[in-house]
Amino acid sequence: MTPLTETGWLGPWGALVAAPFIGVAFGWFLERGGLGSAPKLAGQFYLTDLTVFKVMFSALVTAMLGAFWLDRLGVLQLDLVYLPETFVLPQAIGGIVFGAGFLVAGLCPGTSCVAAAAGRRDGLGVMAGMLIGVAIFNTAFEWIAPIYSATPLGAVRLTDLAGTTRGAGIAAVTVIALAGFAGARHVERPVHVRGRLHAALAIVAALLATGAAIAEYGTDEVISAPELADRIMSRADDQRIFDLRSPGAFEQFHIPGASHVTVAELPQIPLAPQSSVVLYGDRRRTVIDAVRVLRSQGHRDVRVLRDGLYEWLARVYEPRLAVDATPAERSEFERAASLSRFFGGVPLAGVPRGDVPQGYWNGHPRSDALLAAAAGQSAAAIRRRGC
């Protein structure tokens, strides 16, 4: 099971040893593709040479499809891979400033290192400029800070916002990239050197992408933790909650009323077709498989607990209120505290701001360190996000 650093196979030192090897391969392929030469990169902006687009998007699609399928096959736990946090405004402005610099420099930070290593003095110039630019940013940080931390959305994927499955999102990105590759042949001078190879690669990508969309089809219904809490409190009939984690984790802590089940056991469980089912687990693949099993048996109302036990702990079982809470946070906490007491949890008021769990429900980036702390203190050792 991977990532190796998350599952304990590779310690911090091991990761540092791996770094230069990964870097060598990265630099090698960038140079092989011609991305160590500024005029070639700049050609992207004049549509005379689309190498940047081709290399970048074939790399993106390869990694995206590879990561999805390795996750499906149980090799890689994709939810443990670091997902950059979204800050809409600074990333839009930063992108504009960066794009202007990219155009003028003809190289981006990574490719400037490749160019410099290949003897290009302009590459060294870009590297020097990068250092100066970062130093300017640091010096002016006091003034930049309000923009820098504006409009946070947390660690969020396009598919979370769109409300679709990740498989469907991956398929959409692949289709757009392949359409772009096809279009690129008409924009550049048409040189069909490796037409057959390219067609074969495109077919493989299209098949993997279609497979991804099909593998997750119909598994996009989610429920938030407070919604689930309300449902449990209203003692709705025909409601079932299934915990798909290990029996040990279930013994340690589970949502009241949940029963432990494995995907293999699901078909044997007597369940009325009209019952509402909520599923949660700590492996996305398992949860998706469970939804599909229930759907294939004709159950319509099957939902996945959004963010699994993480959101449950943070918003229902153990809500926290910062010392310097805003009135909005205070009223949200009052509501959460009554839920918490109902479920035998421990609402904590007056904790330091840094100890308040964050997620997209309060518009702040999720901190995995806080999650680990929360899980350690209250319930089971629940890693990062559940499903």
Partner 1 sequence: MRRSYTDPYLAGIGVGLVLLTAYIAVGQGLGASGAFASVVASGTAAVQGTMHAAASPAIAPYLPSGIASPLQDWLVLELAGVMMGGFASAWLAGRLHRVAERGTGVSVRQRMYAATGGGMLMGVGAKLARGCTSGQALSGGALLSVGSWIFIASCFAAGYALAPLARRLWR
Site for partner 1 in 15-34 (CB under 8 A): 15-16, 18-34
The b-or-e profile of 303-312 (16+ CB within 10 A means b, else e) is bbbbbbbbbb
Q: Which of 74, 146, 158, 342 binds partner 1 (CB under 8 A)?
A: 158
Cα torsion 43, 46, 47, 48 to 10°: value is -50
168 near partner 1, rule: CB under 8 A = no
Judged by CB under 8 A, the residue of 74, 134, 259, 341 near partner 1 is 134
Q: Can you spell out the DSSP letters for 264-315?
A: TTGGGS---TT-EEEEE-S-HHHHHHHHHHHHHTT---EEEETTHHHHHIII
For residue 190, state whether it binds partner 1 (rule: CB under 8 A): no
Q: How far is the CB of 58 from partner 1 (least distance, A)?
A: 3
105 lies in the site for partner 1, by CB under 8 A = yes
Residue choice 72, 165, 174, 181 for contact with partner 1 (CB under 8 A): 181
115 binds partner 1, rule: CB under 8 A: yes
Is-contact 250 380, C-beta < 8 A? no
Q: Is 176 in the site for partner 1 (CB under 8 A)?
A: no
Longest dimension (CA), the chain: 72
Least distance to partner 1, CB of residue 109, Å: 4
Chain residues 203-232 in contact with partner 1, contact rule CB under 8 A: none
Q: Which of residues 74-103 bind partner 1 (CB under 8 A)?
A: 75-76, 78, 80-88, 90-103
Q: Between 226 and 357, whose beta carbon lies closer to partner 1?
A: 357
Which own/partner pairs from 58-67 qualify as long-range (CB within 8 Å, at least 24 positions apart)?
A: 58/177, 58/181, 60/173, 60/177, 61/173, 61/174, 61/177, 61/205, 64/170, 64/173, 64/174, 65/170, 65/174, 65/205, 65/208, 65/209, 65/212
| Interface region with partner 1, contact rule CB under 8 A, candidates 165-173, 289-297, 320-328, 335-343 | 165-173
Residue of 53, 56, 7, 5 lying closest to 29 (CA atoms): 56
The only residue of 72, 114, 280, 311 in contact with partner 1, by rule CB under 8 A: 114
Residue with tokens 């911090």: 12
The distance of Cα 128 from the centroid of its chain, to the nearest Å, equals 33
Nearer to partner 1 among residue 178 and residue 294 (C-beta): 178
Q: Is 150 in the site for partner 1 (CB under 8 A)?
A: no
Does position 38 bind partner 1 by CB under 8 A?
yes
C-beta closer to partner 1: residue 90 or 257: 90
Q: Which single residue is written with the structure tokens 């984790």? A: 249
The verdict on 138 binding partner 1 (CB under 8 A) reads: yes
Shortest Å distance, C-beta 145 to partner 1: 7
- When asked if residue 121 is in the footprint of partner 1 (CB under 8 A), the reply is yes
